[in-house]
Structure 1
């Protein structure tokens, strides 16, 4: 069964960006994610990551 969500390091690697850049994208609403668990760890859904990438190509 394929995974549905990506972690910060996985997204950062795919976008060739730092964790701080990913946090900024989430904070400003450019990339959508969800906070889960008691520590509020962020996860980015595969679909949302692909939508972000497509928007960046379109721009």
Structure 2
């Protein structure tokens, strides 16, 4: 059984590779792994971390979504009620 060599080479990243792609320090990547935010496995002795490329891409996608939602939330905090309702303020009936 032969595997596609290019897939094997690029499937897993080292902590250093992931740090370079994210433009952070290797310590930052290890921190993400230790908190469970970035799934990774230990391989060999002494157990160097390896991050599957697809997991890193999923992490990046999740961070973009979190940033988008945070921006929407912060924008809504700054908006006034008429602004959020399209200029209308509807008062409930007062009996």
TM-score, normalised via structure 1 length:
0.95
TM-score, normalised via structure 2 length:
0.60
Higher share in helix: 2
Higher share in strand: 1
Larger Rg: 2
Matches within 5 A, 1:37-52: 37-52=44-59
Residue 57 (structure 1) aligned to one of 46, 64, 67: 64
How many aligned residue pairs are there? 59
Q: Which runs of 5+ in 2 are unaligned?
A: 1-5, 67-95
Corresponding residue of 1:21: 28
Q: Which runs of 5+ in 1 are unaligned?
A: none
CA distance in structure 2 between the partners assigned to 1:43 and 1:52 by the alignment? 15
